[in-house]
Every structure is written in C-alpha cells, then in structure tokens.
C-alpha cells in the first residue's frame, strides 16, 4: 500500500504574491516533507470586506507566474471556481474529496493561529487538518487555541508586505527582488495597482 499524500494548504489573498509567501511555502514543504504545497487563491476573502481587492483572475495569474518552475509548489484556483466567499472549511472538504486519504496540513501565520476562534465553522477545519503554524526567528509564540494538532515551522524573517508592494507599484517604485520577476511582468502587463487617473 502506498504512503498517504501529504499536502500543504496555504491560502491567501496574494495581492500580490511575494517572496515571503514563496519562502514560507518551500520551507514548510521541506520541514514537513510534504509532497506539495498549494497556494490557494481566495475568491472573495470574507475577512477583508472593508478592503478593495484585486480581481481573483489577476491574483491567480500572479500566483501561477510566481510558482512556475518551483518543484512541489502549485497555484490552486479551487476557491475561485467555487465562487462566493472563501471559507477554509469548504476548501478542506473539497480537497479531501479530490484527494482521498491525503493528509492535509493547513499553513497559517502565528498571528492567524491565535485568531482561529473568529473563523467560520472552525470545528470542521480542526477535524480535517493538521495545523502548521509559521513563525519568524525570535517571534513571540502565538499558539493556536487548545485542542489543535499543530506543528510549528520557523521560516526566514522577510519583512515584505502586500500593502507596501501595492503602494510601491502605484507610485512607480521598483518591485524587483520583492516579488518574482514573472510576477512583476504580470503586474506591469495588466497595469495592476496603478493609481486611478
């Protein structure tokens, strides 16, 4: 009997995807010996209702460009195809059906881990996955609430934020070395984050 597939599930808005996201994905995959890590692009991120979010198709194009050529890291459009608000409980349920017997490892930052109590249908999430809490070197431990099976993975401290990258793109500052070259190309070709004229 073959070993069960081990899949990392790393969801986000990815607006835009950047080197911090990619460093997290490859380091978690290595640390936990995962078969693959899915960068799951949120369709309608329900926790960001007060933010303007770049259209999902553009964010997915950036993630495809970012992971191209990276072994074991894949762009996932499951939430976009499903439509509506993106809930992790739905995503894990669909992945379990599509990948029978697979071990699902949900990757979250330490700040998100401490706020899991605000998530929708959190009991379903807890039942379907092993939690992977990503921390930065020297960070204060922000563990998940009681009752979670979880592993902590330390990843390099890269102070890059999507908010800053959108501002940089909007006023013409360079994005090189902060996002992969192919993502810079997508941003420029699609004129993403350009100021309104």
* pLDDT tens digits along 6-46: 999 999 999 999 999 999 999 999 999 999 999 999 998 87
Kindly state the percentage of the chain with pLDDT values over 90.
76
Q: Tell me the domains of the chain and their CATH numbers.
A: 6-189 (3.40.50.620)
* pLDDT tens digits along 73-118: 999 999 999 999 999 999 999 999 999 999 999 999 888 888 888 8
Taking CB atoms within 8 Å and a gap of at least 24, the contacts of 176-181 are: 177/19, 178/18, 178/19, 179/16, 179/17, 179/18, 179/19, 179/62, 179/66, 180/19, 180/22, 180/65, 180/66
Q: What is the pTM of this model?
A: 0.92
Segment 155-171 mean pLDDT: 93
- Per-residue confidence (pLDDT) for residue 15, from 0 to 100: 97
For residue 173 the two structure tokens come to 């500052």
* pLDDT tens digits along 117-148: 889 999 999 999 999 999 876 666 667 878 89
The answer to whether 93 touches 42, Cβ cutoff 8 Å, is no
């Amino acid at each position: 009997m073959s070993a069960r597939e081990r899949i990392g599930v790393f969801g986000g808005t990815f607006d835009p995807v950047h080197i911090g996201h990619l460093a997290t994905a490859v380091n978690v995959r290595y640390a936990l010996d995962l078969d693959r890590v899915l960068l799951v692009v949120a369709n309608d991120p329900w926790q960001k209702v007060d933010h303007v979010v770049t259209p999902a198709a553009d964010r997915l194009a950036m993630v495809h460009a970012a992971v191209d050529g990276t072994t074991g890291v894949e762009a996932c459009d499951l939430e976009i195809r499903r439509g509506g608000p993106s809930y992790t409980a739905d995503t894990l349920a669909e992945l379990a059906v599509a990948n029978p017997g697979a071990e699902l490892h949900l990757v979250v930052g330490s700040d998100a881990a401490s706020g899991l109590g605000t998530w929708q249908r959190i009991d379903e999430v807890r039942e379907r996955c092993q939690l992977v809490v990503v921390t930065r070197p020297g960070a204060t431990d922000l563990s998940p609430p009681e009752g979670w099976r979880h592993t902590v993975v330390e990843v390099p401290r890269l102070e890059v934020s999507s908010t800053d990258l959108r501002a940089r793109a909007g006023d013409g500052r360079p994005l090189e070395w902060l996002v992969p070259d192919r993502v810079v190309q997508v941003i420029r070709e699609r004129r993403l984050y350009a100021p309104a004229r």
